[in-house]
Amino acid sequence: MARDLVGYGRTYPVVGWPHGARIAISIVVHFEEGAESTPLNGDSLVENATEGILIDQVSQVGGRRRDERIESMYEYGSRCGFWRLADIFDACDVKVTFFCAGQAVERNPIVAREITTRGHEACGHGYRWLPYHAFSKEEEAQDIRTGLDAVEKAVGQRPLGWHSRAATPRTRSLLLEAGGLLYDSDSYGDDLPYFARTDSGQTLLTVPYNTDVNDDKFWIAPPAAGFTNPDAFSSVMKATFDRLWAEGATHPKMMSVGLHQRISGRPSRARQIERFIHYARGFPGVWFARRIDIARWWLQHGPKP
């Protein structure tokens, strides 16, 4: 699969958003808890994204030892984090997109239903929450299909979007083969949606995501830099909003905010999300949208592939 380092270039498109909004804000909540790597699920490795427990992946191989402390950090996300965040979204009246791992929603069907009941979007995020690199093509295709089926069954609606934990050059083709998807979010390469090409030359709308306005920086392991305190994440959200809102006067943009139930659903961090929503609401021309709403708008009003 080729890369496109030029994109829209200097002729950035002016497409705009509903009601003349200057910025579309997509809040994303990752719902992965229960689908992460653990020997309990037959995996050889313990998930190494944790709140402060350092896992040496190499020495683990062949060990197949569960780490119940880490598992319980994930359980917290599904049991407590979801409810705290969902209540904030209700109180602020915003609809968001949940990136749902199939096995995670299966493990908590009550929460899965709640996503639809409250009007949020369930987007496919693999059956297992695992990178696809170690998968064969057949395994990857199977995980995509099973993931979509599991989310459909648990939340009551077939996902129309997709985000991989880590995509391979063939992922986009496999998504088209699976069928029924309007967009993916497997790119961090732009501020606006665009049509991405698969390795076989077909196109799929990609609604780009990002890794800097993302709470996983609270959990990131060295040598990468993370957020040292909740205000650091607040300032990144605010600075991103300020810049894109300013640019949106002539070139409306989109902003993604990446959250995880087990991370931003913590008592120490949830308020930052609520404060950011209030902050953004204080400006005119702000459209809080689910990714599917952005995708549909773009398919109708954006440049064609």
Partner 1 sequence: MPNTTRDFVGYGTHRPNVVWPGNARVAISLVLNFEEGAERTPLYGDNVVIAGEGNVVDEARRDLQGESIFDYGSRVAFWRLMDLFDRYEVKATVFGCGMALEHNPEAAREFIARGHEPVAHGHRYAPMYTFTRDQEREQIRKAVEAFKHTTGQRPDAWYSSGHSEHTRELVVEEGGFTYDSDSYAEDIPYFVMVNEKKWLVIPYNLDTNDMKFRLSPGYSEPHDFFLQLKNAFDCLYEEGATQPKMMSVGLHARLSGRPARIEAVEHFIRYAKGFPRVWFARRIEIAHWWLDRYGHLDPLGS
Binding track over 67-106 against partner 1, x by CB under 8 A: ----------------------------------------
* Distance from C-alpha of 236 to C-alpha of 233, rounded to nearest angstrom: 5
114 binds partner 1 (CB under 8 A): no
Among 37, 173, 187, 261, binds partner 1 (CB under 8 A): 187
* Distance from C-alpha of 2 to C-alpha of 186, rounded to nearest angstrom: 15
Among 169, 284, 303, 305, binds partner 1 (CB under 8 A): 169
Among 63, 93, 188, 301, binds partner 1 (CB under 8 A): 188
The C-alpha torsion from 92 through 98 and 104 to 106, rounded to 10°, is 90
- Closest to partner 1 by CB, 121 vs 191, is 191
Among 38, 97, 108, 171, binds partner 1 (CB under 8 A): 171
- Closest to partner 1 by CB, 56 vs 138, is 56
85: CB partners within 8 A, 6+ apart:
29, 259, 261, 264, 265, 270, 273
Q: CB-based burial of residue 142 (10 Å sphere; 0-12 exposed, 13-18 middle, 19+ buried)?
A: middle
Minimum distance from CB of 234 to partner 1 (Å)? 9
Three-class SS of residue 287? strand
Binding track over 214-233 against partner 1, x by CB under 8 A: x-xx--xxxxxxxxxx-xxx
Q: What is the identity of the amino acid at 256?
A: S
| Segment interacting with partner 1, rule: CB under 8 A, options 24-32, 33-41, 107-115, 239-247 | 239-247
What's the CA angle centered on 124, arms 175 and 208, to 5 degrees?
75
For helices 267-281 and 82-92, the axis angle rounded to 10 degrees is 20
Among 190, 266, 269, 293, binds partner 1 (CB under 8 A): 190
* Distance from C-alpha of 164 to C-alpha of 140, rounded to nearest angstrom: 11
Q: Give residues in contact with partner 1 (CB under 8 A).
A: 1, 3-10, 12, 57, 133, 164, 166-169, 171, 186-191, 208, 210-214, 216-217, 220-229, 231-233, 235-237, 239-240, 242-244, 247, 253, 255
